[in-house]
Amino acid sequence: MTSRRTSPTNDARLTLGELRKRCEAQALPLTGPRLAVLETLVGLQGTHPTADEVYACARDRGFHIGRATVYRALEAFVARHVLTKAAHAGTAMRYDGTLARHHHLVCLRCNGILDVADERLDAIPLPDTSKLGFAISDLQIQVRGICRACQEREQADQP
């Protein structure tokens, strides 16, 4: 079953220029290591990488950068709203360059996260949490299932 209103948000490609603009708007100085992390993130877009994945990819690209520096850079980006965190309970924190409202398809096999935009999900009203004293910042739907790659892998494994 498909819907015309459901579309991946990957058409909004993350560019280095866009990320630099976000840093400039927040007066966040673009040091060498931060720039290396941004360039690496552009190459990893759509994958919601963990800090370790960003570190490994940055090293593969030839950047001489330490693991702690990558962690610090990612946290600085989150603090200044250059990136956001894609939380998935029980797994390593993942970073997300898509700031616009969107939702996540979470694969239960590989823990991969795909972006999905759907105006029906956006229209879900916020719950009343006033009695719980909980201040809501946003509502993001996590749709869980098995991604295409994992389905194909499982079919190939069938005798």
Q: Which residue ranges make up the site for Zn ion (CB under 5 A)?
A: 96, 98, 107, 109-110, 112, 115, 147, 150
Residue 7 vs 129, nearer CB to Zn ion: 7
How far is C-alpha 29 from the geometric centre of its chain's CA atoms?
A: 22
Collapsing DSSP to helix, strand or coil, 82 comes out as coil
Residue 42 vs 150, nearer CB to Zn ion: 150
Q: Least distance (Å) from Zn ion to the CB of residue 78?
A: 13
Collapsing DSSP to helix, strand or coil, 105 comes out as strand
The C-alpha angle with vertex 118 and arms to 115 and 120, in degrees rounded to 5, equals 145
Q: Least distance (Å) from Zn ion to the CB of residue 130?
A: 28
Q: Least distance (Å) from Zn ion to the CB of residue 70?
A: 19
Residue 68 vs 108, nearer CB to Zn ion: 108
User: Rounded to an integer, what distance in angstroms lies between the CA atom of residue 36 and that of residue 43?
Assistant: 11
Structure-block tokens of residue 13: 């490609």
Residue 73 vs 83, nearer CB to Zn ion: 83
